[in-house]
Amino acid sequence: MLSIRLSAHGQTTASIPPSPMHRIYTEDQADLPDSGGTVSYEQYMQRVTKRMADVRQLLTDGKLTTGRDLRDASLIFQHGNTEADCLFAHVLAMEALLHGDIGAKWAAAATLDRYLQLIGKSQIFGTQYPSDASVPKVTTSPTAERLSGRSQQPYDPRLLPDGVRQDFCVPTVEEQKKNVAVFNTGARPSGTAMRSAGCMN
């Protein structure tokens, strides 16, 4: 049921409930192991598999018609484990951009980077901070251990100038180095350190 409230000018406005796609996205974000989710990695991936199936059904039914919904769908498939998942995620992010969703710029970069790393190539924007067995972990707490021991490899930071990164809401190479250092203290960089504020909503 829609809730009705008064606007600042005394007019009534309806609070529109989130779309089914955005609810799926919100649940996924809450479960993310790197963002404080309480489920195990195995449980999380089982839920991702179910969510990807649900998103495909929404696509089949023609229910994803806005740029925001397409961006949210992209970020569900971004969390899949296969090359096909991440390639599909990239296509969805590009479609979100075509629908005018500026917030999908970062998703377009991140899905491409993850796809490249999954096929054994170097990421080019620098959005990914995967675990790296050659980097020591911080063992002071389970959270610190999970967040630390990271690098950006494989990564070719020379292919793109920082201006292109910033066009896609991705921080500069120097800012990314700071993010790696923060991860390897066992902490998580702030949201705006990982992507520009304009791509956070």
DSSP 16: P
- Does any domain span residue 171? yes
Are 150 and 74 in a shared domain? no
Q: Which two tokens stand for residue 161?
A: 């100038």
pLDDT band at residue 37 under the 50/70/90 scheme: low
Most confident option among 3-7, 31-35, 125-129:
125-129
Q: Are residues 187 and 93 in the same domain?
A: no
Q: What pLDDT does residue 192 have?
A: 86
In a domain, 160, yes or no: yes
pLDDT at 12 over 60: no
Determine, yes or no, domain membership for 132.
yes
Domain assignment present for 9? no
> Average pLDDT for residues 70-85, to the nearest whole number?
97
Going through the chain in order, the beta strands assigned E by DSSP cover 3-6, 12-15
Residue 129: give the domain boundaries: 122-201
Shared domain for 24 and 116, answered yes or no, is yes
Digit-coded pLDDT (tens) for 115-165: 999 999 999 999 999 999 999 999 999 889 999 999 999 999 999 999 999
Tell me the mean pLDDT in the region 99-118.
97
Q: Which of 111, 128, 108 is nearest to 168 (CA)?
A: 108
Whole-number Å distance between alpha carbons of 75 and 109: 11
Same domain assignment for residues 155 and 117? no
Q: Is residue 39 situated within a structural domain?
A: yes
195 falls within a domain: yes
Q: Are residues 40 and 114 in the same domain?
A: yes
Structurally, how many domains does the chain consist of?
2
